Chain A
Amino acid sequence: MKIDKSLMAGSTTMLILKLLDTEDMYGYQMIEELERRSQNVFTLKAGTLYPILHSLEQGGMVESYDRLSEGKRTRKYYSITNKGKKLFKEKQAEWDCYTTSVNQVLGGFGLCNHLTSM
């Protein structure tokens, strides 16, 4: 199932941070990994990914370094910083509360009580 792009827009940063929380990755790898984990629901365009990555780097949320990867190409790897991990936790809490609230409205079965801190 393809989803409306605007639905994804708000959560892209969070998803990128989540990916980097597991391991250091380069851009293409992130797109692949995201597709794999979401079973092809999320297709992130390079044109969206790199501006986000670059601004995260400027904000000190991620850091980049060059590393020779398999295939003998030097790739720009990104790794998450402590500041980035904190931002991820905030985004996730925000997201949890948001989805719970949406579900509450839609079906009335969501509970937001464990997230009252947000």
Chain B
Amino acid sequence: MQSSNKHVEEFLQSVCNEIKCKSVHKSVARELENHIEDQKTEYVNKGFDEETALKKAIKEMGNPASVGRELDKTHRPKTEWSILAITSVLVILSGTIQFLFSGTSQDTSYMFSHFLLYSLIGIAAFLIVYFFDYTLFSTYPKLIYTGIFIMTLLVFVFSNKPYGGFIYMYYAVLLFIPAFAGIVYSLKDKGYLGIVISGLFYLSGAFLCLISPSVISLLLLTISAFTIITTSIAKGFFKVNKKIGFAIVYVPTLLSFIILIIKAHEYISKIFMIYLYPGFDPKGAGYLYLMLRNTVSQARLIGSSLNENTIIPLWNTDFTLTYIIARWGYVAGIAITALMAILIVRMFIIVSKQKNSYSFLLSLSSTIAITAQIVLYVLSNISIIAPIQITLPFFSFGAYSFITNMILLGLLLSVYRRSHLISDRFKGTQHKKPVLSFENGKLTIDFGLLKPKKLQ
């Protein structure tokens, strides 16, 4: 609130004192200040001197405290109860399963106590992100992205590479995705170069996935980054010709894809063989797939179809859904999947309601990251796609997965909580300069990279 006048400022201050939600203070104060100015001009035109006009204009506004109280009623943060309820049900179900099996064998004895510990940490992480004003993230998007990059790299350097690659990459990617949304937002209005720079940031994350190496992380990052960038181009965030914009993204992608297929055709055709002929290589790559497929096809509607031949590896992390279907029947599996489906729909409804481009991109990124995991997990568990190492958000056993997914959910609901409070204030204030501009015989190249973007 930077008002030229003390009286106006006093008035606005006492209005805002009544409004608990701080994030609306600025916009409310600005609107009311404009109103007072208009009213003042009107009185000046009627022949009053400046000071009297202003005093009359302020008086006209009414009692500041009661105006503030009225506004406070309409600006209460919103809570998405259905998503909170579904997540709670999933976490409780997951806990119940860990409880039932904790201690049934030696390698499961720690499960429930671990679950209790990490679920508390996850809920705490959720709450911190949920109540934190996410718009602050928009100020230093590149710093945040680079920070995650360096931390991941440090983990790589200082930990021994386990067999099968760094599992941490998966969780790092879940954080890279919302950070990438921040990057895209910061490159808003930057034209074609904005798209290219976004692409470079994506590639730096993808590079980590490759040296890790973690195919599933690369897949998650790619699906999410492409959804974010495609939506941004389609929504006109970059202010470019959409067709050329899509071409910039998809032509190099298709080319690299073709090169990949040519270079690794043997490996890829092997994967395809497993799909088409599950009997192919039954002792090697096809083993897990066959095992899961048999388990699913033998499952009953309700009740257990487990027998001494059933083997479900990693049943409490990567193939929990397969296990549930085998242990309690299709109905139980469908129930869990339906809950997940409702969760996905509710998340997308939040995204669709965002008016502000930053809230939109951030909520989209969290939603895509959670949704991609759920979809890939379900498809892999019911043997529609080859088995992959992935976790079911809020459900699979595992501290890192649970905590990172809770952070994503926290971000999404934090956006929802404030969605009606932060509307698009960018139209007038946005850094509108194009990257290349030619003015007074001077060619200016402005990437806008040095300026932190401030919301409001």
Chain A residues packing against B (C-beta within 8 Å): 26-28, 32, 45-48, 50-51, 54-55, 57-58, 63-68, 71, 73-76
Q: Can you list 28 A-B contacts (CB < 8 A)?
A: A28-B39, A45-B60, A45-B61, A46-B60, A46-B61, A46-B62, A47-B70, A48-B62, A48-B70, A50-B28, A50-B31, A50-B35, A50-B67, A51-B71, A51-B74, A54-B74, A55-B73, A57-B420, A57-B423, A58-B74, A58-B420, A65-B427, A66-B424, A66-B425, A68-B428, A76-B30, A76-B31, A76-B34
CB < 8 Å neighbour of B71 from A26, A27, A45, A50: A50
Tell whether B75 is near chain A: CB-to-CB under 8 Å.
yes
Contacts A45-B62, A47-B66, A54-B75; is A27 near B35 (CB within 8 Å)? yes
**Cβ–Cβ < 8 Å partners of A65 in chain B:** 423-424, 427
Residues 21-66 of B contacting A (Cβ, < 8 Å):
27-28, 30-32, 34-35, 37-39, 41-42, 60-63, 66
**Cβ–Cβ < 8 Å partners of A55 in chain B:** 73-74
Complexed CA–CA distance, A26 and B428 (Å) = 15
CB < 8 Å neighbour of A28 from B27, B38, B66, B420: B38
**Cβ–Cβ < 8 Å partners of B32 in chain A:** 46, 50
Chain A nearest CB from B428 CB (Å) reads 4
Residues 405-456 of B contacting A (Cβ, < 8 Å):
420, 423-425, 427-428
Which of the listed residues A27, A28, A47, A50 has the most CB atoms from chain B within 10 Å of its own CB?
Answer: A47
**Cβ–Cβ < 8 Å partners of B428 in chain A:** 66-68, 74
**Cβ–Cβ < 8 Å partners of B424 in chain A:** 65-66
Tell me the number of A-to-B contacts counted with CB atoms below 8 Å.
69
Decide if A47 touches B37 in the complex (CB within 8 Å).
no
Complexed CA–CA distance, A7 and B32 (Å) = 26
CB < 8 Å neighbour of A47 from B39, B61, B74: B61
Chain A nearest CB from B12 CB (Å) reads 12
Additional 8 contacts, C-beta under 8 A, given A54-B71, A65-B427: A28-B35, A46-B35, A46-B39, A46-B62, A57-B420, A57-B423, A63-B355, A76-B31
**Cβ–Cβ < 8 Å partners of B74 in chain A:** 51, 54-55, 58
Complexed CA–CA distance, A28 and B41 (Å) = 12
Chain A nearest CB from B178 CB (Å) reads 25
Chain A nearest CB from B402 CB (Å) reads 33
Decide if B67 touches A73 in the complex (CB within 8 Å).
no
Chain B nearest CB from A43 CB (Å) reads 9
Q: Digit string of B65-106 for contact with A (CB within 8 Å is 1, else 0)? A: 011001101110000000000000000000000000000000
Decide if A28 touches B427 in the complex (CB within 8 Å).
no
B38 closest partner in A (C-beta)? A28
Contacts A46-B67, A74-B428; is A28 near B34 (CB within 8 Å)? yes
**Cβ–Cβ < 8 Å partners of B67 in chain A:** 46-47, 50-51
Chain A nearest CB from B244 CB (Å) reads 27
CB < 8 Å neighbour of A75 from B34, B41, B63, B425: B34
B67 closest partner in A (C-beta)? A47
**Cβ–Cβ < 8 Å partners of B28 in chain A:** 50
Residues 315-367 of B contacting A (Cβ, < 8 Å):
355
**Cβ–Cβ < 8 Å partners of B34 in chain A:** 26-28, 73, 75-76
**Cβ–Cβ < 8 Å partners of A45 in chain B:** 60-62
A69 closest partner in B (C-beta)? B34
**Cβ–Cβ < 8 Å partners of A27 in chain B:** 31, 34-35
**Cβ–Cβ < 8 Å partners of B423 in chain A:** 57, 64-65
**Cβ–Cβ < 8 Å partners of A73 in chain B:** 34, 37
Chain A nearest CB from B235 CB (Å) reads 15
Complexed CA–CA distance, A28 and B63 (Å) = 17
Chain B nearest CB from A29 CB (Å) reads 8
Decide if A67 touches B427 in the complex (CB within 8 Å).
yes
Chain B nearest CB from A56 CB (Å) reads 9
